[in-house]
Structure 1
Amino acid sequence: MFFNSPLSGKLLPDKKLCFTYDDGPWISKNGTNSLKLAEYLAKENVFSTFFVLGKHAKEHPTIVKEIHNLGHLIGSHGFSHINLLNTNDPKDIINDLSDTASLIYDICGENNLYFRPPMGMWWDGNKSISNIPKILNSHFECRKQTGPVLWDIDGRDWEYWNRDSIPKQCADGYLSLINQKRHGILLMHDALSNPKIRDKVKALELAKILIPELKEQGFNFTRLDEIPQFISAKNTSRKISIRTENGAFLKTKGQASFNLELCHLEEFSQLAEFGLIELPYEKFAIRAACGNYISLRGKDVSATADHITDTELFTIKELESGLFELLNSKIGKKISVEWTSPDNQKLSYSDRFYIHEIR
C-alpha cells in the first residue's frame, strides 16, 4: 500500500540508526562492490536495507541474492531511476515498479517490498497531495509494495565522491549530522545512477569509518522492517473512507493536520482516505492522511498518535442498514465526531458510519 505521507525513522529511540543504501548493486572498475559492503555490514551486525535499481539487479542478480542471504533487506528503488513526477503516462510508473518487483522476487523471493522513490520525488512542489499513491494502489501487484520510504539523515555522500573527496571527509559530514539528529534512517549509496561518478563510490570505506565510531559513541542499529511504524504500514491491507448517515466524510483538515472534521465533499479528497491496519484479535488501527493514527486520547477524536497503543485499537461493529461503529473496548469509548453547521452552530454528534473500501 502506498501513502501520501512518507515513512521515516523520526520515531526511532535516541541513538538508534537504520542504514539504507540506494542505486546498487554494482561492481566498480576498481573491484569495490555491493557484496563486499554487505559482508562487512553483516560481520558488524549492522543489517541494512539495499534499495536496488532493477536495471542493476538484472546485471548482477547473484549479488542481490547473496546480499539477501547475508540477512539484509532488499527494497525497490524502481527499475531505471526515473523521476516519477516527470512521468506523464501512469502505465510507465506502474511498469517501472512492477518489473522491478518481479525481478527481485525471481532473484531472492522477496515480496511485498518497501519502495523508495528515486530522488525522493513524490509530491509536486506546489501541492501537498501526491497522485502517485492512487496510480500505484490501483494496480494489484504494485499495491503489495509499501512506500514511500524516505530518510532522516542525508550526508549527500555522492557529492563527496563526485569531488573525489577522501572517505574520512564524507564520514565527518555524516557523523556531524548523526550527532545533531541522534536517531533515524541514514541515506547512503552503494552505487549511483549517474554512470559518470558510479565507479567513484567508496561506500565500504565510509562504513568502515562510521560503524566503529558510532558503536564507540553508543549507537545501536536496526533493520528497516523492524521499525514499528514500518510494520504497521506494511500491515495496512485496505484504504477506506468513513462517512456518516447524512453523507459527510470524515477527513483530516489538512495534509499536515492532526485534527479531524466532517465535511460534505463535492470531489473526493485524499484527506478523506484512511488506511485500515489489521491487528490480532480482530482489532484494527486506522491511519490518517497525515501518517498518524486515529486516537481517542483526550476529549476528542484526532490523528495525534504517532504509534499504536491501546487507545488506537478499535473493533468494527456492524449495525443495521450497513452502518458501523468504531469501538475501543479497552477504554469503553467509540469514535464520535461533532457535526457543525456552516455558521458554527452545533447540530449533533455522529458515531455511526458507512465504511467503504477504496480501490
Structure 2
Amino acid sequence: MSIPSIVSLPYAYGAPECGGVIRQCPEDFIVDEISTIEPDGEGEHVLLQIRKRNSNTEWLAKQLARLASVAAKDVSYAGLKDRQAVTTQWFSVRLAGRDEPDWTILNNDNIEVIQVHRHRRKLRRGALKGNRFELLIRELSCDPAWLEARLENIKQQGVPNYFGEQRFGIEGSNLHQARAMFEGKRIKSRHQRSLYLSAARSQLFNHVLSLRVEQQCWNQAIAGDVMLLAGSNSYFVIDEVDNEIRQRVETFDIHPSGILWGRGRSESKNRAALFESELAEHFPLFCQGLEKAGLTQSRRALRVVPEKLEWTHQPEQKQLALRFELPAGAYATVVLRELVSW
C-alpha cells in the first residue's frame, strides 16, 4: 500500500502558483485556542491557560504532571498544538487533595502561564470551538492578481478538509507504525496506539476526499450523500439533490461528509457510496485493523471554510499575513497548501 504525501493530494483550485517560506520563526505561526470552557472557580482540578513557544503539547503536559507530582493521566488538554509555533491553550491538572504548586515556576522564554482557575471537571479532548490563526508567509513569489483571486476563492468556497501532514508523523511514520501494528506488532503505549489508529483513519478519509476533489464534487452535494449540519455532529442522508439542498450547501448550512472508518455500515448511498465502497478493497489492512480495534464509523465534513479570513499582502517585503479561524479538527496547513508551495 502506497502512502501518498499530503503534498501529492489534488488541489481544489489547481496547484498554487506561489512560492514562499512558512514557519521561518515560531512567531510566524501563532495559534490561539477558542475554548468552550467557563471555569467553575472551585473543584479538585486546576485549569491553566498557557502560551508556549517551540514546545510540544505532550511535553508540556509532562512538565505540569512533574511539577504537581501527579500521574500523567491526571493532566489533560483539549487538543494538540503545533510545536514550531507560538500557541495558547488550556490544560487541566487533577490535584485531588494535593497542595497546589507555584505554577509560575514553569515560566521561561518559551512558556508563560497566563491564567489559573479551579474547576470541577477534567478538560476533555475536543472541548474547544476551534483555533484562531495569525500566519506570516515570507519570501513570497507570485502574481498579486492571482493571489487575490485565490484568496477570494478560499474565502467564498473554502478548501478540502484534508487531515494535515501533522496527523501522519514525520515522513508518514505514524502510518508505517499503524501498518506494522495491524500486521501484528505489539504497541504497549495506549497513547501511541491511538495516534496510529487516528493516522490510519485519516489516511482513508483523505483518499475518499481526494477522489471527490478530482471529480470536483468535494464542495457540493451528490446523490446519496450523508449531509452534516454545520457546527454539529447531526446528519441526514439524501437520495437526490434538489434546489433546497443546493441552497443549504451554498449558504454553508450543511456540508457533504466523508467516512471515518470503523465498525458499522456506511449510510451513504448511490453515487456517494461508490467513493467509499472501494476503501475495503484497496486498503483492507487498514479497514480491518480499525474495525478490530473497536472504532465505530463516524463522519467528517469534506470542506472547511476559514472564518473571518483577512489578509495583508506586502509585495515590497515579499510577505503575506493571514488571519482566520478554523473549527476544531481542521488544519491551517490545508488552507496554506492551496495558496503557496513551501
TM more than 0.5: no
Which has the larger Rg? 1
Choose between structure 1 and 2 for higher RCO, CA contacts under 8 A separated by at least 6 residues.
Answer: 2
Instruction: Report the TM-score, using the length of structure 2 for normalisation.
Output: 0.29
